[in-house]
A and B are shown apart, each in its own frame.
Chain A
Amino acid sequence: MANMRKTKNPMPSQEPLVRAHNFDEVALGYTEAMALDEAQRCLNCKSFPCVQGCPVNIRIPQFIAKIREGDFEGAYQVISADSALPAVCGRVCPQESQCEKYCVRGIKGEPVGIGRLERFVADYHNAHAAEGAAEPAKNGHKVAVVGSGPAGLTCAGDLARKGYDVTVYEALHVAGGVLSYGIPEFRLPKAIVKREIEGLERMGVKFLTNMVIGRVLSIQELMQEEGFEAVFIGSGAGLPKFMNIPGENLKGVYSANEFLTRVNLMKAYEPDANTPIQHAKHVTVVGGGNVAMDAARCALRLGAESVTIVYRRSLEELPARREEVEHAMEEGIVFKLLNNPVELIGDENRNVVKMRCIRMELGEPDASGRRRPIEVPGSEFELDTDCVIMALGTSPNPLIKSTTEGLDTQRWGGIITDEDGLTTCEGVYAGGDAVTGAATVILAMGAGKKAAAAMDRYIQGK
């Protein structure tokens, strides 16, 4: 008999006022008892609508059934058949707009805590399982993956399981892409990312760091000289977007990419770090996505007295995961919604000291379906700030496009692909932010998975 309680088991977390001063993981994870109880809330319904909400179609009712039986490792095996990164997705997926959005239990109460259960299962596996499966038998075909973020790791994992000899090229000095440089330690511990990558290495995947494809080697060279039969481009987000308002090059103004890279990749929060970061008093973050929340919460943990998020729409339109917004609010981050910066003002030494904003109101829905923010004339006001972080998204890196003949891109730079991820170059596939522009980890994983299947069909059909 299912547990018909209307609410999820709450996630045990560090106390807001404690965690606001450390970089340790915020959410602590379910205990076995909590997981067993939460699993009882699943009705195991015949139509399993949750699965259609998952970009990689994890067989959700099946894994939850295994939890109910107390077979946690079995549950992990169900998830890992469809997802290369369960411990990552259980932490960073926007479940409320995916699997949990479609959960029948969500109609009269809260949906089943699918994400929390996924995380529990992955952490159980990581704590108890023996070191990974053996290297699959090789099929004699070589493929290359450009970029080691979620799209690249998923693609590499799927192809390695099928027996391909996979080499992953990473531009930075560590693998993981946005999982390493972007998402902070307190939301996704780097030890988890490292473990996932080591799992792929045990399957025979080779990781080459410091390899900027487009410069060190071109896509053509990978295929013609290095002998790869197909290439997957998962080069991710590129250059940060700015607002094109006065003052954006003042000192103290960061892109979220720079701020987060300094903190996460270069560990600027550690006292003996070699890479500096500004320890500002009054930080203002512009934007409303997960990246904005991450930047704001990092700034708080670096010791800021106040951190304010300025976003031009209202709470309802905030694109960040709900849990991140709630966590940010609990930690004391101030949300100035329906406001937009119009100018950054500096002192005589070109340090930013003020942000000039204008109030907004919501008009008719725009192309994205969200109500369009409109400036309220004469409503300008100033905020004191000594650090501004622009979290407005990115446009794809031009490097691969400019060095790959015949690779067509959208006007804004995204690589053009068909449904399977095939680009306009034979044997060259792409997926993730390089194709879609800034999106989520799980969408990138879905694209990597689709492309891996298509690359397999392409090579086997040759």
Chain B
Amino acid sequence: MYRIIKKESLNPSVTRMSIAAPLVAKKVQPGQFIILRVEENGERIPLTVAGYDRAAGTVDIIFQIVGATTEKLNHKEQGETIPDFVGPLGKPTETEGLKRVAVIGGGVGCAIAFPVAKKLFAQGCEVDAVAGFRNKDLVILEDEFRANSTTFLPVSDDGSWGEKGLVTDALKKLIDSGRAYDEVIAIGPLIMMKFVCRLTKEYGIKTVVSMNPIMIDGTGMCGCCRLTVDGKMKFACVDGPDFDGHLVDFDEAMARCAAYKPFEAKAREAACNLFSQEVK
């Protein structure tokens, strides 16, 4: 069993938890993910790690409440336990030798982009961080990003936080202003990563994206997380989750991610109903 050491709501639909998992905390690196189950007979869901404290033996996860499992996870309180928490899985984000990087986070993807930015900044890399949200109510990790970047550029769809616009607009401005990057690291919704990659391809800047497809085991057994990268079949759980964004077939990835949408919506509704009955 894995205990929830700390729980904190970052916005109405996004929660941060610190989980006691000493063996995972000992080795995990930014870019890697864990798989958890909330209850016996529950589904296995992958979450990319949002932070870790090796000394305390804890791993941070930040999750958006989108389906039945995240709904149930969000009903767990500090001090309670979950039955399974396995990791670190996947390959860490490669940061070695990088001197100037733009880190782009979109929505809850900022949770994963942040530890990467933090690691790069700590190793002396110049980090321009661009964080994008739909509006100011959804903003997470602002202070953390500010403290771990050379330049911080907030943007929102409606202009209620930072500049009005998309992360691609902000990135384009940075590049056009003469900032030269060894690499762009983009983590967020598939559609955002697709358009970041389209932009950086024009400029010929290497771009790494973190893919989060549907997974079952997450250990290299089921093949559900397969993607097309450079025309070849790759498995996000063992070959990724980071890939060269200019080679990823995003349209295919988006279709595959939507495969169980109707089921997920129904399952979440069922989970919500269950909880509202308990309240009565």
Contact = CB atoms under 8 A, between A and B. Distances in A.
B169 interface: no
A248 B233 contact: yes
Given A248-B233, A257-B222, A399 B252 contact: no
Contacts of A216: 23-24, 27, 86-88
Contacts of A349: 255
A239 to B, nearest CB: 6
B86 A171 contact: yes
Contact of A262 (B88, B216, B226): B216
Interface stretch (B38-46, B123-131, B201-209): B38-46
Interface of B: 23-24, 27, 37, 41-44, 68-69, 83-89, 216-217, 219-224, 226-228, 233, 235, 238, 252, 255-256, 258-260, 263-264, 267
Interface in A256-278: 257-258, 261-262, 265-267, 273-276, 278
A188 interface: no
A155 to B, nearest CB: 20
Given A216-B23, A349-B255, A398-B238, 17 more contacts: A172-B217, A210-B84, A210-B85, A212-B219, A216-B27, A240-B221, A240-B223, A242-B233, A244-B233, A249-B228, A251-B256, A251-B259, A255-B222, A261-B221, A266-B216, A275-B216, A276-B260
Contacts of A240: 221-223
Interface string A180-217: 01000000000000000000000000000111100111
Interface of A: 171-173, 181, 209-212, 215-217, 237-240, 242, 244, 248-249, 251-252, 254-255, 257-258, 261-262, 265-267, 273-276, 278, 349-350, 394, 397-399
B216 A261 contact: yes
A257 B222 CA distance: 5
A173 B23 contact: no
Given A238-B220, A249-B226, A274 B84 contact: no
B69 A210 contact: no
A237 B83 contact: no
Contact of B223 (A171, A173, A258): A258
A254 B260 CA distance: 13
A275 B38 CA distance: 13
14 contacts: A212-B89, A239-B220, A242-B223, A242-B233, A249-B226, A249-B228, A258-B224, A261-B216, A261-B217, A274-B42, A278-B259, A397-B220, A397-B238, A398-B220
A181 B219 CA distance: 13
Nearest to B42: A274
A173 B45 CA distance: 12
Nearest to B90: A215
Contacts of B220: 238-239, 397-399
Contacts of A181: 217, 221
Nearest to B228: A249
A252 B258 CA distance: 12
Contacts of B226: 242, 249
Given A238-B221, A249-B228, A257-B221, A210 B235 contact: no
B42 A251 contact: no
Contacts of A244: 233
A172 B84 CA distance: 9
A274 B216 contact: no
Contacts of A251: 255-256, 258-259
B87 A215 contact: yes
Contacts of B68: 274
A173 B217 CA distance: 9
Nearest to A270: B41
A174 to B, nearest CB: 10
Given A212-B89, A212-B219, A274-B69, A239 B84 contact: no
A242 B217 CA distance: 18
Contact of A173 (B44, B235, B263): B44
Report the 5 A-B pairs with minimum CB-CB distance, sorted nearest first.
A255-B223, A210-B86, A240-B223, A350-B255, A276-B263
Nearest to A171: B219
Contacts of B224: 254-255, 258
